Amino acid sequence: MPVFLRLLVFVMFEKYCCNVVQEILSEGGQLIDVRSAVEFSQGALTGAINMPINSFQHLKDDIDTAKPVLLYCRTGARSEMVKRYLEQLGFDRVHNIGGYQQFVGC
């Protein structure tokens, strides 16, 4: 199935799997963990950078607007708030992939 079709299916159901996440990352996607620094230090997805939600306004300028953004937290709630914020700022390729535990070992 072509990439765009897989992404359409996942966007429609707002559910991401390991393969789709890895594919977006291989195309230059930026993996961002919006959990606190303490949560991040207790375990994070490989290649993720930590941009805690409470500091996000100051850190958002470090995000490359030309590349897709994949956000996650513990449950997907905080990453959804950050996703909506980035979309309001004009980011058009922002994905809330959900909770951390779902992708451990991905």
Question: SS3 of 69, please?
Answer: strand
Strand 30-33 versus strand 49-50 pairing type = parallel
73 is catalytic: yes
Q: Which residues contact 49 (CB under 8 A, 6 or more apart)?
A: 30, 31, 32, 33
**Residue from 17, 18, 73, 106 carrying the catalytic annotation:** 73
**Active-site residue numbers?**
73
